[in-house]
Structure 1
Amino acid sequence: MTWEETLKLYDNITEACDGFERKGKKMIYTSSNGYMFTLLNKDGEIGIRLPKEMANKFKTDYNTGDYYSYGAKMRDYVLVPKNLYINKALLVEYFEKSFAYINSLPSK
């Protein structure tokens, strides 16, 4: 999948969610409450920020690991494996879980 195709997928996911929209032109992300909670890096990889227990379960359930953007490990983010890119409903669910998690944190 090309970066442009992944961007289109990312946009389709965010459009299907309630309460937030995609931001950025070169660095693609979503944010709320002063925190970013999903990212699309330059390598066309999607990262989702989740609470620690949910992140660990996601990594185990989907055989994935930590998310890196521009060479830096993103704390509390999981890498969405490319085989999940075809499951838009699941990704919408996790984007919304991430949004809820971020909004449970103290505002920045």
Structure 2
Amino acid sequence: MDRDAVVAIYDRLIAGHAGLVRKGKATAYTALNGNMFSFVGPDGQMCIRLSKVEIADYGRDYPNDPVIRYNSVMNGYVAVPDALLDDEGALTGWFAKSVAFARTLKPKPTKK
């Protein structure tokens, strides 16, 4: 799936949550309280941040290989495969879990 199509899906997911705003250009992302919890990279790969328990649950149905960006492992993130992108109902549930998890994270001060 091309990046524009993935970003369109991403925008629909974000629109379902009041107060969320997509940020970034080359890497579209969302953050709550200074904690990034989802993104679409320049390569069109969508990734979401989940708790350890949810990552294990996710791994029962989808690959949960480490997400690597800029030569660093993004701990707590899972890549969203095309099969899940094609099932927006299921994806909406996983995105909601990511939002809920982000709300539990300790706020980080912004750099601006």
Using structure 1 for the length normalisation, give the TM-score.
0.88
Aligned residues: 108
- C-alpha distance in 2, partners of 1:47/1:95? 10
- C-alpha distance in 2, partners of 1:26/1:95? 21
Preserved contact between residue 66 and residue 74 of structure 2 (Cα < 8 Å): yes
More strand by share: 1
Tell me which residue corresponds to 2:77.
77
Where 2:94 maps in the other structure, the secondary structure is: helix
Tell me which residue corresponds to 2:52.
52
In structure 1, stretches of 5+ residues that fail to align are none
Offset of 1:69 from its aligned partner? 2.5
| Per-residue Cα deviation, 1:53-105 (whole angstroms, up to 9, x for no partner) | 11122022223422223343211001111111111122222122111111112
Using structure 2 for the length normalisation, give the TM-score.
0.85
Tell me which residue corresponds to 1:91.
91
Preserved contact between residue 35 and residue 105 of structure 2 (Cα < 8 Å): no
In structure 2, stretches of 5+ residues that fail to align are none
- C-alpha distance in 2, partners of 1:90/1:105? 24
